[in-house]
Structure 1
Amino acid sequence: MYNDLNEPQKELCDLMSSISEEAWCAGWMEGLEYALWHIVNHGPAQYGRRLISEEIIQQLKKLSQNAQSWIIFDDLTEETAVPILEWHQMFQLANPN
């Protein structure tokens, strides 16, 4: 849950949620964490109504490094910080290409 996140994790979560809201008018669009991670690793791209620019990518990278995690949304735990190494494995399993 959001309240369980530390400050760096909350900053990352807030940016991700803001992007979702601007792109889709949804506080957390399904698959947001995967879409943004793909963009972070492959460069600027359109996401819904929002262009994720190099500047936003750099912000996501910096916040993720500060948080030492990536934020996912789980139906039970809601906003959840996943340690970055664990996130790499989760992402690879979900998208082996």
Structure 2
Amino acid sequence: MSASEHPNRQELARELLLYKMQEYSQDGFCASWLHGLEWELWEAAEPPNAPAENPFIFNTSRECRQLAEIAQGWWVFEDQTQPDTESPVFVSLERWQQTRSAGNRPPIDPLEQL
């Protein structure tokens, strides 16, 4: 087997990031992809969020963001570049930052808060 057949560090981080995000959604909410998951996990490690408030999401968020740095991207469920996709899409960190800067966070579904 040649070296080119093995995934590199960036590809491994990308796949592990997807796994961690889906695992958080499945374990915490019994959903394969929680509505707004990409936003929740990204924001949970930002100030003023504190580890004492919810250490599980804070730690998961930090781990996911570290993996995102290695992978150079973030998984999102819908992206304008691939609007017909019904599964998570990997976007560059630059694209993710543009989405965040544009304030394109999906509205919270009131039924999900029950």
What interval of TM-score do these two structures reach, taking the shorter chain for normalisation? Answer: 0.7 to 0.9
Question: Quick check: which one's helix share is greater?
Answer: 1
- Number of residue pairs matched? 86
Deviation at 1:85, TM superposition (A): 1.2
1:40 aligns with 2:45: yes
Deviation at 1:57, TM superposition (A): 3.0
Task: Please state whether the residue corresponding to 1:52 is helix, strand or coil.
Answer: helix
State whether residues 42 and 65 of structure 2, in contact with CA within 8 Å, keep that contact through their aligned partners in structure 1: no
Structure 2 stretches of 5 or more lacking a match?
1-10, 79-83, 106-114
1:20 aligns with 2:29: no
Structure 1 length as normaliser, TM-score?
A: 0.74
Cα RMSD (Å): 2.1
Structure 2 length as normaliser, TM-score?
A: 0.64
Larger RCO: 1 or 2 (CA < 8 Å, sep 6+)? 1
Deviation at 1:77, TM superposition (A): 5.3
State whether residues 13 and 67 of structure 2, in contact with CA within 8 Å, keep that contact through their aligned partners in structure 1: yes
Which residue of structure 1 aligns with residue 98 of structure 2?
89
Q: Distance in 2 between matches of 1:91 and 1:7?
A: 25
Q: Distance in 2 between matches of 1:39 and 1:79?
A: 20
Taking every aligned residue pair, what percent have the same amino acid on both sides?
Answer: 26
Question: Quick check: which one's strand share is greater?
Answer: 1
